[in-house]
Structure formats: C-alpha cells, structure tokens
Chains A and B, each alone.
Chain A
Amino acid sequence: MEAEIKWLDDPEIFQVGRINAHSDHRFFVNDEEMGKGKTVLEQSLNGEWKFCYSVCAKERPADFYQDGYPDENFDRIMVPGHIELAGYDKIHYINTMYPWEGHYYRRPAYTLNGQKCWAGMFSEAAYNPVGSYVKEFDLNEGLLHRRVLICFEGVEQAMYLWLNGSFVGYAEDSFTPSEFDLTPFLKDKGNRLAVEVHKRSTAAFLEDQDFFRFFGIFRNVTLIAKPEIHVEDLWAKPELSEDGKGSLAVDMKLTMPEGTTGRAEISLTDKGGQMLLCHNLLLPGDRKPMPGQAEQKSGYREISGEMEAVDVGEVIPWDHQNPYLYLLLIKLYDETDRLIETVPYRIGFRRIEIKDKIILLNGRRLIINGVNRHEWSAESGRCIGLGEMKTDMQCFLRNNINAVRTCHYPDQIPWYYLCDENGIYMMSETNLESHGSWQKKGAAEPSWNVPGSLPQWRAAVLDRAESNFEYFKNHTSVLFWSLGNESFVGDDIEAMNQYFKDKKDGRLVHYEGVCCNRAYEDTVSDVESRMYAKPWEIKEYLENHPKKPYLLCEYMHDMGNSIGGMGSYIKLLDEFEMYHGGFIWDYIDQALWVWDEVTGKRVLHYGGDFDDRPADYEFSGNGIVFADRTEKPAMQEVKYYYGLHR
C-alpha cells in the first residue's frame, strides 16, 4: 500500500495499518526482568533524529522515506519534543477558536449538508507545516528474531510511517499510542525509519483543546519485541461484592506459534505474598485461527484465554484512603513448560455504582476533591517525564486532592499507574474537544458542529473512545470514562456513550456537553455534569427532581489570583447527598520559559507572547500551581476545603 496525502483531509481515514488498541500491560521474559522493571524486549528510539521542517505538504521532501535518500543535510532534533519548541514553527496558544481562525476559512467535511469543498483542506494548504523525521537503528539483541512493533506514545497530529522504504502505516489521535507492526520490514542492522508528521489534519477539528498548539513526536518512541507466546491484550475484571468478598475474571487475547501448545498460569497475591488464586489455563494446539482474528504474520495465531470469575474470599477494598493493590501475575509457558512471558499487573478491588441516584464507591458515597490536569512543563510543553508526574502526585497527596480528570485527552501511561498506587480517582477522558465548532464567543452556535450526528465522523470518535477504554481498562483508579470535553452532543457522542456502556465494566460514563441538548439526556452520561455552575444553580437542579447524581467536571477557575468562595461549593456536599463535588480548573499554569533580552533573565511567557494571533493570552494560566510547579497561594484554601470530606 502507498501512503496518500489526501488522508489528511478525510475524516473517515484516521488510521491505516495501526495495531488495534490493547491493554497497557508490560511484559517480561522472566522474573528477574520483572523484578527490575526492565526488559530486553524494549528498545527506546528516543534521542537525536534527523529532521527536516517544511511549511506545507507541497514543500516537504516527499520521497525522504526512500532508501538512499540524501538526508545528510537534514537538521537534528530531539525526540520526544515539540517542533515549535525546537524553534521551527510559531508557538501559538488559543482557547476555543480553531488555530487557523481569521487565516483560513474552513468547514469540516460533510457539515452544512456537505456544500463546502474540503478536498485539499490540509494537504494543499499553503501553511500546514510538516516535520520529516529519520531515525537509523540496529536492533538490540533482545529484539532479534522476534516479532517487533513500534509504539509512538504521542504524535501530534497526523503521522505517516515508513521503514526501509516501505510504507507501514498512518495514524491520527495525538494522545493515544499508535503502534505498528514492523516485523515484515525489519533488518537486524541498518534500519531507516521515516516519520512524516503533519501539523493539521481533520483531527484538528476534534483536537481543539484549550492549550498551546504544537506538533511533532512529543512522547516516547519504543521498539517492542513480543515473546513467542504473548499476551496481546489483558482485561482483568476484579469485582468487590457488597459483603467485602472479591472475585476475579480474566480475559486475554494471546498469540502463539501455530501448531504449538502451552499454558497460562494466572495468580493473584496480596502485599504479604499470600496467594489468593492460582489458575492454570491450557493453551490448546488448535491450528485453525479464530474466525475473523487471523494474525497478520503467518506462523502465529491468536487465541482467547479466559478465566471465568473465581472467588478469592475477603479482600481489602481499594480507595483513596487505602489504595490496596494485589498483584495479578500471568505467566506463559510453552509446551516444554519453559517460561516464555511474564505479565504483572497490580489491580484493586473496588465497586463503583449509582444507587438511589447517589454515586457509591465500595458502598460509600463518593466525594470528588478533584482537579483537572493538563500534562505540562514550562521547559518542554506537553512533553513531560516521570519526574513531573511524581511531583504532581506528591502535590495532590499533600493537598488532599483525591481525584483527577485527564483533561481533555489520555495522559501518558505511567500517570494511570501512579493514580492506582496512590488512590487517586480518575476521570479518564477521551481525546475529543471540538468547541471551536459550536462555541462562538461563549454562545452555542452548532451549525457546523463536529462530530455532531455526522456518520462520516463517527468512526473517528469511536476509535478515540476505544483507545481510551482498551489502553486503560485495567486501571483500578479509573472510575469514570469521559467522552471528551465541550464537543456539543449528537448521535456520534451518543454512540461513544453506548460503546462504553456495552463494555459493562461497572464504571460510570461522563459527559458534560449533554446539557447543550437535553434530548440526549437519557442516552448520554450517567451523571449530571456541569462546568462553572454557580452554587445556587447547583442547588436549583438538586432541589427540582434531579435525574442524575451531580458533579462539576470543571469549577473554581483558578486564573491568576482566584479560588475565592470555594466554601459555597463545599457546603453543598453537606446539603445534598446527590452532589459529589468536582474538579478544579485546573492544575498547572500553561506558560513557557523564554529568555528575556531586556532583563537578561528567564521569564514565563503565555499566549500572545510569540506574536501568535489570534490568541487568548493569559487564559493559558489557570493552575493551582504556577507553571514551574510551585504552589499558588490559593493552595492552602484547596487543602483546607478538600480536607473536610475525605
């Protein structure tokens, strides 16, 4: 297959050749590796890459992926990172408006009855920058002679991938991993990987988050080799009964060489090493692939491995106060009983439900002392590391914050693990925000809203929902799936809601935008979610035959010197059982360090400080911590009020 530039313009093409989303479990070849948390199966491609910047697709070196292409004159760029922060394209902050506002007239494909032309909207635009990346690598020993995939954890906003001159795939969705099977194209040595990243595509209509608008490979790039027998997908389903007893079911998808047999050992141990469960699953030697599930590479087949619910007796429930996790261990053995793969996953037992219109966690009313968190660093934008995540987690714990909404896209994977370990309740949000398509100067005007009810946009948003679910389904901390933010409501978002409900994982589905059109009230969102509702408006809802439990997905807008009057919200927790609290907007100021020639000092700049127009200026800074992660003075207020209901 050949790559086509026109995919940028077509909302129905958002991936080509991408591996299906699956659980984010890690895997090791033996117990020793597992103990160290490091495996020979992974090879990071982070670091210096060759790079060429072009202002638009027409000017890009279109054949740069070909073997023998003379790329000696390419620049060098660090991966991961934003191309703008490497100095190539203008840094731009804007809130609801699309970033091309006033520069380009664009209507999403198929809106307005399809009367507007969209061919070439992005692929032929005079300004739609392209980053052409090249990385040469030899395979590390641990990856040799295995099936190897490549994982791009985050590429903004559309990427084409080639290896050794062959087209591998295409992906949008900047904030979920995009994985591709490299096996057919790999050499042991002298591989040449080519990635072409486009700043805008139809994904831009769905990714209009209120943040700095960047592009590039901004999260890790890793080669991952699969052991001969491999857990492709794991869905652990721990359940907590009302009498405190736990049960666990496990669904797996595995691949293994055709014609071989093996076994899977599934065990569960507590922190003291006591085994609660040990279950053996035979992996039969059926030669026939499962219907419709043929593995791409011949020689391997995909099989299901299911363990039906097994009672494990009394368990310690997981919650914020005591985020107790058990170790689920899956060990795969081949037919000679040699250990091939080990998959550890720490899971907790907890029960989230709505009873009598009240959200209960483990039978107790859930109180959300939450905050919205963008991934941000004043040094490197949305390219952050484990250090920032740990700092943020410590800040949460220090200040009685018990919940986080991953506004408005999935975060890096380690953050979900940190939330499991530290008892932080997660609202895991799908990468979707299209407020520029219906919010005009603060008023609702949805004449060309996407995704709306447009069938041509449905698959793209469903894919985003699926990525959110599949990658994070095993995280105990995820209590809510969120469909996205400020994208209005229509049949497509309704279909996303249904997607999550069909999973029957007990979690609640959240979407605020349904308040724009109450016709979808019964089919979208398990909770009445609002943003910036005034205390008396909340009261009004809750005193007038409320249909759903109430939470604030955004409140207490901490722009500059703010967080006054928080007590009026916290008081509602005592007045209304159906009020569950909310998520402060937001965690960290979005501003960037720049060198100020006048003072000779490093200073923080915000929207509009880069000659970026139109901009929303200091609206980029609403954090309870400053951009350098020091706490704002208002934090003591947050800590006090969030300490009252724990």
Chain B
Amino acid sequence: MACTDNQGMQNGKLHVVYGDVTLGVHGERNGKRFSYLFSYATGGPESICIDGREWLYRSPRPTFWRATTDNDRGNGFPLRSGMWLSADLFIKCTGVQVRANGIELPLPCAPENNRYSEDERAETIEVTYTYETITSPQTEIFVSYQVSGDGEILIKVHYYGKKELPELPAFGLRMIMPTCADKYVYEGLSGETYPDRKAGGVKGVYEVQGLPVTPYLVPQDCGVHMDTEWLKVYRSTGLDNSQKEKKETALHFELNGLAFSCLPYTACELENATHMEELPPARRTVLCIYGAVRGVGGIDSWGSDVEEAYHVKGGDDISFSFRICVS
C-alpha cells in the first residue's frame, strides 16, 4: 500500500511519513511513483519501491567478502583475512540519523514522531546508518541514503580503515532483490573484469541475459564488472501476490566508474559450493556495488599473492558513492 500512498503531493516534493519504526519517503517522477521505507529496526532501507515494483528483499548491507577464488585459497588469503567472512555475515547496526533538508532531526521514531502529521514534506531526506563490524579490532561503516525530490537516492558508503585489520577481498554494498532479474544492461567494460584483469575489456554498453554464474569448476567469485558508468537491472517478477501481470521494469544505478557484480547468489552461497550443481536454485538477485575489489592474481595458484597494487588494505579508508535514479 505504501507504494500508492502519495495522494495530494506536489511534483518534486517529498512526502514524508514519520512512522514509529520506519521513515517513509514518497513521491512521483514522470508519472512513476516512488516509495522508500527506511527502517530503524532492520538497520537499513526496507523498501525501495518504484512504479509498483519492490526492489528490496532485505535491507542492504556493507559487504566484505567474495567467494574465495582458487588463487585466494592457494595463497592462504582466507587464512589471513577470514574474519571478513564473518563480518560479511553478521554486522551490527549501531545508529541511525535522519536529516530533512540538510538539518539533523532528533530521531523521529516513537514517541518523538508524535509531533509530526500526515502532511509532512521535505526537499531532501537523508538517512545514515552506522555499522560496527565483528572484526578484531572492530571498525565502523557509514552508509547514507539521501533522497531528493525526484526520487533519486544518493548512496554514500564510508569504511574506516584500521591498520590492524587484514586485507579485504572486496568492499561494497550488497543489495538483494526479491526475485531473479531477467537481464542487466551496463555501460562499462566487456566481460568479467577485475582490477588486475581488465586491459582486455572493451568499453561499451552490454546486455547480460539472466544472471549467469561463471561456471568455474569450484564456484567462486565471478561476474565482477569494473569501471562501470551506469547499470540497469531488469525484473518482471515480484513476490507481491496481488500483481498478476508480468511487467518488466528496471532499476537504474549511476555508478560513475565503480565495479559491480549481479548474481543470483551471495558470496557465502558461492563459497559453500564445491560444484555448480550444489548451488541452490536461483531465486534472488544479489547486486554488489564495490568501492574496492582485490585482484584475482595469476602468477600461480599455490602461494603467490595478487600483485601489491591490487590488494585492498584493511588499514585504509574506503569511500564511494552512487545513485539510484527514477528514470
């Protein structure tokens, strides 16, 4: 219902619902209604609904792991950096901040929200989640979602490095969509590319049907696309029982040179399989947008590390941002 609850709104203005547990942000652009719910309970946005299509299965989370490659295992990387696997699985949301029109509000959950009404509006709403890792030592990640009047969400992610922390296989934001995508289209490099394996990638606009998992003998990280300008993920199915007809809609990301992968599995699901046939039936779309990716290496598969330039240091801050657009 949230998706359609925007009566009486003016174009370009956000209708804000200060709920007890969620913050609703609603609007319309080019005849498409958008409706976002930012939860104080789940530690992230709980709904990104555009033109009647829900795009979130669970709240997005920072991601710290990739399914280890043969080279990763061969050089002992998971033995050095394994704590990032648990950090990827389990993370604590330690705080939420809300800004309306750039001004921080006392957190508007119950009973603070009793002072608001049904008719609340804003030019921009920004919700920032703070996460604390279970690594040793712990560190913090900030993820902010800034919604502007046209429904665009500017997502900023910041990782605070700590020099005692081991190298990361990757750092990004993982967004799981309720059903499998039909295809995705992006502008960037051809094929599967990594920081140390992208010279052969040719710039262009590419359409990838389905959510292919590269069939390495042992399932492992795959499908990364470096240097991507934009990405559109197309789905024609949802979990909403009332939506009978299949209608293909796209979610549009402006990535400005970031890397992404779009697969039907999480890193853990891939990590757990020793053969392709052990992977569970594909049900979701797992989109990871990366601010940093470790190279895959290639000198050998029994000890040599990825070249120095393609390591992701745990001690360095990592910051990146991208946009979700209502087009």
Contacts and interface: CB of A to CB of B under 8 A. Distances in A.
B298 A618 contact: no
B276 A604 contact: yes
B296 A561 contact: yes
A264 B240 CA distance: 85
B243 to A, nearest CB: 30
A32 to B, nearest CB: 48
B70 A564 contact: no
A598 B298 CA distance: 34
A637 interface: yes
Given A559-B71, A596-B277, A618-B70, A532 B200 contact: no
A634 interface: yes
B167 to A, nearest CB: 15
A402 interface: no
A154 interface: no
B215 interface: yes
The size bracket of the interface on A is 35 or more
A638 B300 CA distance: 16
Interface string B216-235: 11101110000000000000
Contact of A565 (B196, B202, B275): B196
B299 A557 contact: yes
Contacts of A565: 196-197, 295, 297-299, 306-307, 310
B236 interface: no
Contacts of A641: 199-200
Given A560-B71, A564-B310, A622 B199 contact: no
Interface string A616-628: 0011111000110
Contact of B296 (A562, A605, A618, A622): A562
Contact of B301 (A599, A605, A622, A637): A622
B70 A561 contact: yes
A604 B295 CA distance: 27
Contacts of A556: 298-299
A557 B200 contact: no
A557 B301 contact: yes
Interface in A557-609: 557-568, 589, 591, 596, 598-599, 601, 603-606, 609
Given A532-B304, A641-B199, A562 B217 contact: no
Contacts, number: 125
B300 A561 contact: no
Nearest to A642: B200
Contact of A561 (B69, B190, B275, B277): B69
B306 A564 contact: yes
B194 interface: yes
A30 interface: no
B301 A640 contact: no
A64 to B, nearest CB: 40
B315 interface: no
Contacts of B74: 559
Contact of B200 (A591, A622, A638): A638
Contacts of A619: 301
A618 B191 CA distance: 24
A562 B199 contact: no
A599 B279 CA distance: 11
A621 to B, nearest CB: 4
A633 interface: yes
Interface in B36-75: 69-71, 74
A622 B196 CA distance: 18
A598 B277 contact: yes
A638 B197 CA distance: 10
Best-buried of A556, A557, A601 by chain B (most CB within 10 Å) = A557
Contacts of B218: 560, 618
Interface in B282-327: 295-302, 304, 306-307, 310
Contacts of B123: none
A564 B194 contact: yes
A442 B74 CA distance: 13
Given A532-B304, A632-B214, A564 B298 contact: yes
Contacts of B274: 618
Given A559-B301, A633-B191, A606 B197 contact: no
B220 A636 contact: no
Contacts of B200: 636-641
Contacts of A534: 299, 304
A558 B300 CA distance: 8
Best-buried of A534, A591, A618 by chain B (most CB within 10 Å) = A618
Contacts of A609: 275
Interface string B91-110: 00000000000000000000
Contacts of A621: 216-217
A559 B196 contact: no
Contacts of B301: 557, 559-560, 562, 619, 622
B201 interface: yes
A548 B163 CA distance: 45
Given A558-B298, A638-B200, 10 more contacts: A555-B299, A560-B70, A561-B214, A563-B296, A565-B295, A565-B297, A565-B298, A566-B199, A621-B216, A636-B201
Closest 7 CB pairs of A and B: A640-B200, A560-B70, A633-B192, A564-B196, A636-B200, A564-B296, A637-B200
21 contacts: A559-B70, A559-B301, A562-B298, A562-B301, A563-B197, A564-B197, A564-B297, A564-B310, A565-B297, A589-B217, A591-B217, A604-B217, A605-B275, A609-B275, A620-B217, A632-B214, A633-B214, A637-B200, A640-B200, A641-B199, A641-B200
